[in-house]
Structure 1
């Protein structure tokens, strides 16, 4: 039997796992902070590892900033999967980056179409990521990719619960800590009455 923690820590299906991996290049605060991308060189290695960029392609400081902007715009969109409001500024960032990311439809031998970048380099990588987001929004998987409701965490997780009610990246970690904190707060408030 799979525990809730194991279910919520699963990777998103298909190419949506790459979007999840991008969002998870930074999450948490303090001792629990995780940061993978701190330079254009690290971004280059990450994009090559995820088959989004040719090994010899350059990555500039401007490319680095744009990818980090996309990452945080995606995090905001994922927060909305918990029925919270999207920040208009993040929608604007996503739309601006998407407008510079030309995509084309490619029909495969199996008869299934995919959205593919119509440009190379980092612009192509951004286009590919935008295409992944669009595809997951249309196939119904997007709504299950969420960020942890623990504001000090914000790690992306794929919610596999039947009723789509997952709220934390880990019930054993963030969920347990927040529930214990809420219990202590209620208990303190009750004893002060």
Structure 2
């Protein structure tokens, strides 16, 4: 079984690159500024979206993290409803138009500006849906990873971005430390509503997990606008701050 992106169709590779523009395992986001997002569109979507704004960046992050929830659902896990709502809300604000090539092939394109870049992503999703490959793009079931990967297994049952990495790690944690490992994997669909975690708040508010921790603990002061945005995400998702405290203690011990 290969989970290598080289085996995936171009449309799938593009959407995966969009979702994987942040590596939550390292708490490292490629898009640190609107200019970073603009450069990403040029490099990956071959689209010059012009001069982007902070609102464009937040919209890109909102769409990205909503898509990650869709990919978790593809892998059989419970998505966060608020993130899916955010995805649909974000996409409604992206003006795209339907046009046809000389051979009659339809294409979705974004209007000038940020929508031009988002339009390329929307078209890639539609292409993958049409050719049947969309459901094979998934997100890793390890809670702190959630990396987008291509599942070309015969029965489409892969759950991890890497069986040798995340898969074995979770299995070893479950065997050696059942109590502390209960939150290592995202719950399967049908196992009840998934409780939001620190990563979910970071994803929803468009900041790093470290910043969310600083807001929750109050140990390090953050900009007021950032604090308000993080608190809004906490309230929207129903995140429990005492859960963050447990995670922080666990990180210090490990």
What TM-score do you get using the length of structure 1 for normalisation?
Answer: 0.81
Map of 1:155 onto structure 2: 147
Map of 1:10 onto structure 2: 5
Q: Tell me the distance in 2 between the aligned counterparts of 1:116 and 1:64.
A: 19
Q: Does residue 94 of the first structure (1) align with residue 87 of the second (2)?
A: yes
Q: Does residue 65 of the first structure (1) align with residue 61 of the second (2)?
A: no
CA contact (8 A) 2:63 2:91 kept: no
- Deviation of 1:111 after TM superposition, in Å, equals 4.1
Map of 1:47 onto structure 2: 41
* SS of residue in 2 equivalent to 1:114: strand
Q: Tell me the distance in 2 between the aligned counterparts of 1:147 and 1:108.
A: 33
Q: Does residue 112 of the first structure (1) align with residue 108 of the second (2)?
A: no
Describe the shift of the 1:131–1:36 C-alpha distance in structure 2 as closer, same or farther (beyond 3 A): same
Map of 2:23 onto structure 1: 27
Q: How many residues align?
A: 177
Measured on the aligned residues, the alpha-carbon RMSD in Å equals: 2.0
CA contact (8 A) 1:103 1:131 kept: no
Describe the shift of the 1:53–1:112 C-alpha distance in structure 2 as closer, same or farther (beyond 3 A): closer
Map of 2:176 onto structure 1: 184
Q: Tell me the distance in 1 between the aligned counterparts of 2:102 and 2:163.
A: 42
* SS of residue in 1 equivalent to 2:45: coil
CA contact (8 A) 1:70 1:94 kept: yes
Q: Tell me the distance in 1 between the aligned counterparts of 2:175 and 2:4.
A: 25
CA contact (8 A) 2:11 2:127 kept: no
CA contact (8 A) 2:96 2:115 kept: no
- Unpaired segments ≥5 residues, structure 1: 187-193
Q: Tell me the distance in 1 between the aligned counterparts of 2:131 and 2:117.
A: 21
What TM-score do you get using the length of structure 2 for normalisation?
Answer: 0.63
Q: Tell me the distance in 2 between the aligned counterparts of 1:43 and 1:172.
A: 32
- Unpaired segments ≥5 residues, structure 2: 179-254
* SS of residue in 2 equivalent to 1:15: helix
Describe the shift of the 1:14–1:22 C-alpha distance in structure 2 as closer, same or farther (beyond 3 A): same
- Deviation of 1:165 after TM superposition, in Å, equals 0.6
Q: Tell me the distance in 2 between the aligned counterparts of 1:51 and 1:175.
A: 31
CA contact (8 A) 1:97 1:126 kept: no
Q: Tell me the distance in 2 between the aligned counterparts of 1:33 and 1:170.
A: 19
Comparing 36-45 and 62-71, the one that deviates more: 36-45
